[in-house]
Amino acid sequence: MQTNPFDDDKLHEECGIFGIFGTSDAAANTVLGLHALQHRGQEAAGIVAYNEGRFNSHRALGHVAPNFSSEKVIRELPGDSAIGHVRYSTSGGTLLRNVQPIYADLELGGIALAHNGNLTNARHIRDELVAKGSIFQSTMDTEVITHLVALSRKTTVVDRVVDALKQVEGAYALVALTPKKLIGVRDPWGVRPLVLGNLKGAPILASETCALDIMGADFVRDVEPGELIVIDAEGIHSHHPFPPVQRRFCIFEYIYFARPDSQVEGLSVYESRKRIGAELARLNPVDADVVIPVPDSGVPAAIGYAAESKIPFELGIIRNHYVGRTFIEPTDQIRHLGVKLKHNANRAYIEGKRVILVDDSIVRGTTSTKIVEMVRDAGAKEVHMRIASPPTTHSCFYGVDTPERGKLLAATHTIEEMTKFIKADSLAFLDMAGLYRAMGKPARDPLKPAFCDACFSGDYPIGLTDEVNRGTRGPRQLTLLAETA
């Protein structure tokens, strides 16, 4: 879900979604699910529950815990089906009207919708609809879906949803709630995750398996790319309404975004990160005394690196968990401060040592620069930075928060320049071949890559209409669009 499609200062969204059907504690379980998905979005949270002809909702800015812990809130969300959403964004659009789930009263009844991902032609559709007189309530890309559902002339809600989704382009995992149905759907490429679970007979849809674990629900299976699941009193029905395309799950979910205790598309995120770390050690060895992760995201990769290199692993940097993610900070100045607030050197394990620092990625370079400085200040003899992903050279338009290209350190600097920038003794990244090996996949086939790795390759599998219209995409992307059309 991306807000403010009119804002040229690109906005960045990641989100978590949850839905449950057929249990008296639907809202309470949704709160639990959203707690587990909090890492996917900390800016806002919302729940819509359906009860006896009425949809009730509670939406709030901020974390799940302070907004959804009171009994009163749960009591006001009665019913045996509910959906929820956690949202993350970095600038603008931080308004209650932009908090999901979105709700709309339509010809065939009410529908609530929660979206993870980002639509790449939302602005285009919105402009067309506004020109014809549509009135939008929010600045979210997701709202175009409700408008398209409203305008569809198909005879059932499910067919109208399909009709709407056939007109949008981009990445989406969606859950929708109607009076009689819970619907879950992934875009044909399956860029964002969605799993099906079961809590004592009540079906669940959630972004990640950790949202099932928290309530003791069973994992049933991943929702397939392009699959639309309809859950109603009769059971679970699977549909495949879109023409099949090459599956392109977001590889960055494994590298950074998903929680390490989640199973995503059949793979453990934690195991994948450890294997990535081991590949990184094989590809970029260096003589050193200690391997130290940049917590938390660098920890599993550092464990893999240490095991492979046989260099001791230590928690040489301690993270303060009560400060939000660095990326949340809205200005560069505060972002710098955030990094200092967040991490502290564990001096005894650093002083006089040759240190290998492992982090999952370098985006703007802020974190690496600060951490290298902190480790040097703590007395490290040498600081070698190892990054558990290829250089992030391209923005994500499919729902991961990356800034515009000009702000990506790797888009504008060579590795040598980046090493100087972060003031490390050495800097090395995993390469694409190592990344695919770590994921247990054959070598990357440029014509049919197994993942969406656009942030590393610039190979965008799904059309970027709004970017092209904005003139920010060059001829290469236009060619790619033509290829995927």
Binding-site residue set for Mg(2+):
297, 359-360
Q: Which is nearer to ligand AMP, 279 or 401 (CB)?
A: 401
CB of 73 to ligand AMP, least distance (A): 28
- Based on the shown chain and the rule CB under 6 A, indicate whether residue 325 belongs to the binding site for ligand AMP: yes
Does residue 401 interact with ligand AMP by CB under 6 A? yes
- Residue 256 binds to ligand AMP (criterion: CB under 6 A): yes
Q: How remote is the C-alpha of 226 from its chain's centroid?
A: 18
Q: Sign (positive/negative) of CA torsion 376, 321, 295, 64?
A: negative
Residue 254 in the binding site for ligand AMP (CB under 6 A): no
400 binds ligand AMP (CB under 6 A): yes
Name the one range near ligand AMP by CB under 6 A: 43-51, 321-329, 423-431, 438-446. Answer: 321-329
**Angle, in degrees to the nearest 10, between helices 122-131 and 143-151:** 50
Total interface residues for ligand AMP by CB under 6 A? 19
**ω into 403 cis (within 30 of 0):** no
Handedness of CA 51, 54, 55, 57 (dihedral sign): negative
Lay out the site mask for ligand AMP across 343-382 (x = CB under 6 A, - = otherwise). Answer: ----------------xxxxxxxxxx--------------
**What is the residue type of 272?**
S
Q: How far is the CB of 246 from ligand AMP (least distance, A)?
A: 24
List strand residue ranges (DSSP E) for 90-245, in order: 102-106, 109-119, 170-177, 182-186, 195-199, 202-206, 218-222, 228-232, 235-239
Q: Which is nearer to ligand AMP, 128 or 261 (CB)?
A: 261
Q: How far apart are CB 397 and ligand AMP at their closest, in Å?
A: 13
Shortest distance (Å) from residue 384 CB to ligand AMP: 16
Residues carrying an active site annotation: 15
Nearest to ligand AMP of 262, 367 (CB atom): 367
CA dist., res. 114 & res. 398, Å (int): 16
Among 116, 139, 326, 395, binds ligand AMP (CB under 6 A): 326
Residues near 115 by Cβ (< 8 Å), separated by ≥ 6?
1, 15, 17, 85, 100, 102, 141, 142, 145, 172, 173, 174
Under the rule (CB under 6 A), what is the footprint of ligand AMP?
A: 256, 294, 297, 325-327, 359-368, 400-402
